[in-house]
């Protein structure tokens, strides 16, 4: 019987499937010495883990590599990942997602793996962290009501900013039940709409005493909180996963309280500085406006219509005066002419002549004037108008100049 022959590619593909279906090989920690370290331009990192009796090729891809601490050839490390076959070369490889110095222990490795997982989900991103309110009116505190932490926080806030309202949401801070208790306390404060910021605090202790603050459920509750969270867990050298997820991390509970509120003294100083800035600004503004007003006043003085109108006013005044003199002269001349004409009229007025003893003769019927002797005949009716009346009579004699009178019968 002829033996079954398979292509190399089919065999390596089958081996890859077998290895990747193995639950142990899909989630394994391998310890060894780093060698043949190569960092590709793509960002991937390739290296070999060597042991006393063997070696294993490893691949750390770019998305995981950027989150790892640096390591060098010769370092003793523990690498976590899954075992597979690189089919093109037929070599066994470990696809790595976490690299840690060897000897940290299982708990530390699990914690680091959780840190890497949560970081990959974006729970620690700096861009999502929110600013704290400048002067909160209500602060929620999640801590134990029995320890010194709660009293320290109260003392700090009473001294620094006594106007704030404090709401304690009591919780366990240590032990197996602490994570559930902390999550419940955070959720209880979120139901109160007046809470503007939450302090999550615990005093110092051993690493195992702070385990609740590395719990995944607690970290996710801090990340999902609707208001900013400030952590003050342990001492300055302690750092937990909730510190990475919080909006602000303080080295101690007292420091967390200080970071949440302004200082009355600082507020007074800021008010004084603001008052001085306002006064300086007002003084500068008034001075500037005064200079501008003076400039405008000078400019308006040059543009004063009175200055351009004055010469024209003088010209009009001169013309008016000359016109008035001309009118006066003309009027006086007219008056003189009128007086002369009046005198002439008066001299030629028959009434005036009659007043001097003369009489105006006329025909009494026709009213025709009699101005010449030759127009008269003896016996003709005659009217003589005098200054004060008229006389009626008949002509008796007509005498021509330098001749004998003509007799008439009356």
CB count in 10 Å sphere of residue 142: 27
In a domain, 308, yes or no: no
Is 41:33 a contact under the CB 8 Å cutoff?
A: no
Q: Strand, helix or coil at 265?
A: helix
Is 67:116 a contact under the CB 8 Å cutoff?
A: yes
In a domain, 25, yes or no: yes
Q: Could you tell me if 79 and 177 lie in one domain? A: no
Is 143:113 a contact under the CB 8 Å cutoff?
A: no
DSSP state, residue 87: T
**Domain count across the chain:** 5
Q: Could you identify the residue written with the tokens 């699990």?
A: 110
* Overall average pLDDT of the 164-174 stretch: 95
Determine the distance from the C-alpha atom of residue 360 to the mean position of all C-alpha atoms in its chain, rounded to a whole number: 111
pTM over 0.75: no
Q: Write down the mean pLDDT value for the chain.
A: 86
Q: Could you tell me if 250 and 154 lie in one domain? A: yes
In a domain, 247, yes or no: yes
CATH number of the CATH domain containing 159:
3.40.50.10550
* Model confidence pLDDT, tens digit, residues 31-77: 999 999 999 999 999 999 998 889 999 999 988 888 777 788 888 88
* Model confidence pLDDT, tens digit, residues 364-391: 888 788 878 888 888 888 888 887 888 8
Q: Which residues have C-beta within 8 Å of that of residue 23, sequence separation ≥ 6?
A: none
* Model confidence pLDDT, tens digit, residues 129-161: 999 998 899 999 999 999 899 999 999 999 999
Is residue 360 packed enough to be buried (19+ CB in 10 Å), middle (13-18) or exposed (0-12)?
A: middle
Is 189:140 a contact under the CB 8 Å cutoff?
A: yes
Q: Could you tell me if 59 and 104 lie in one domain? A: yes
Q: Strand, helix or coil at 128?
A: helix
Q: Could you tell me if 274 and 237 lie in one domain? A: no
161: domain range? 135-262
Q: Could you tell me if 343 and 363 lie in one domain? A: no
Q: Could you tell me if 155 and 111 lie in one domain? A: no
Q: Could you tell me if 161 and 243 lie in one domain? A: yes
* Model confidence pLDDT, tens digit, residues 268-323: 888 888 888 998 888 888 888 888 888 888 877 676 666 667 777 788 888 888 88
Is 241:211 a contact under the CB 8 Å cutoff?
A: no
Q: Could you tell me if 60 and 160 lie in one domain? A: no
């Amino acid at each position: 019987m002829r033996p079954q022959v398979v292509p190399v590619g089919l065999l390596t593909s089958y081996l890859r499937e077998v290895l990747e279906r193995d639950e142990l090989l899909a989630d394994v920690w391998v310890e060894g010495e780093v060698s043949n370290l190569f960092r590709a331009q793509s960002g991937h990192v390739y290296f070999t883990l060597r042991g006393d009796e063997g070696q294993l090729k490893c691949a750390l891809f770019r998305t995981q590599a950027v989150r790892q601490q640096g390591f060098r050839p010769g370092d003793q490390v523990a690498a976590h990942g899954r075992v597979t076959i690189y089919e093109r070369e037929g070599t066994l490889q470990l696809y790595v997602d976490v690299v840690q110095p060897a000897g940290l222990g299982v708990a530390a490795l699990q914690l680091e793996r959780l840190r890497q997982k949560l970081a990959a989900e974006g729970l620690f991103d700096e861009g999502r962290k929110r600013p704290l309110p400048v002067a909160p009116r209500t602060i929620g505190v999640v801590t134990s009501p029995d320890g010194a932490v709660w009293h320290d926080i109260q003392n700090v806030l009473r001294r620094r900013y006594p106007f704030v309202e404090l709401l304690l949401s009591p919780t366990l801070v240590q032990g197996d039940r602490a994570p559930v208790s902390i999550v419940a306390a955070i959720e209880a404060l979120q139901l109160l709409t007046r809470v503007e910021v939450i302090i999550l605090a615990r005093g110092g202790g051993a690493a195992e005493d702070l385990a609740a603050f590395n719990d995944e459920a607690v970290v996710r509750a801090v990340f999902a909180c609707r208001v900013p969270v400030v952590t003050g867990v342990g001492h300055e050298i302690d750092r937990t996963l909730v510190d990475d997820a919080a909006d602000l991390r303080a080295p101690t509970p007292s420091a967390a309280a200080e970071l949440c509120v302004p200082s009355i003294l600082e507020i007074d100083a800021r008010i004084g500085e603001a008052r001085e800035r306002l006064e300086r600004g007002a003084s500068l503004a008034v001075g500037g406006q005064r200079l501008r007003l003076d400039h405008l006043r000078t400019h308006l003085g040059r543009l004063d219509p009175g200055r351009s109108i004055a010469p024209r006013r003088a010209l009009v005044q001169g013309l008016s005066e000359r016109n008035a003199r001309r009118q006066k002269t003309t009027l006086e001349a007219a008056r003189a002419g009128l007086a002369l004409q009046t005198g002439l009229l008066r001299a030629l007025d028959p009434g005036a002549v009659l007043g001097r003893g003369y009489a105006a003769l006329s025909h009494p019927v026709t009213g025709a004037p009699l101005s010449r002797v030759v127009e008269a005949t003896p016996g003709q009716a005659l009217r003589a108008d005098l200054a004060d009346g008229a006389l009626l009579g008949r002509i008796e004699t007509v005498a021509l100049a330098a001749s004998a009178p003509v007799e008439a019968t009356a």
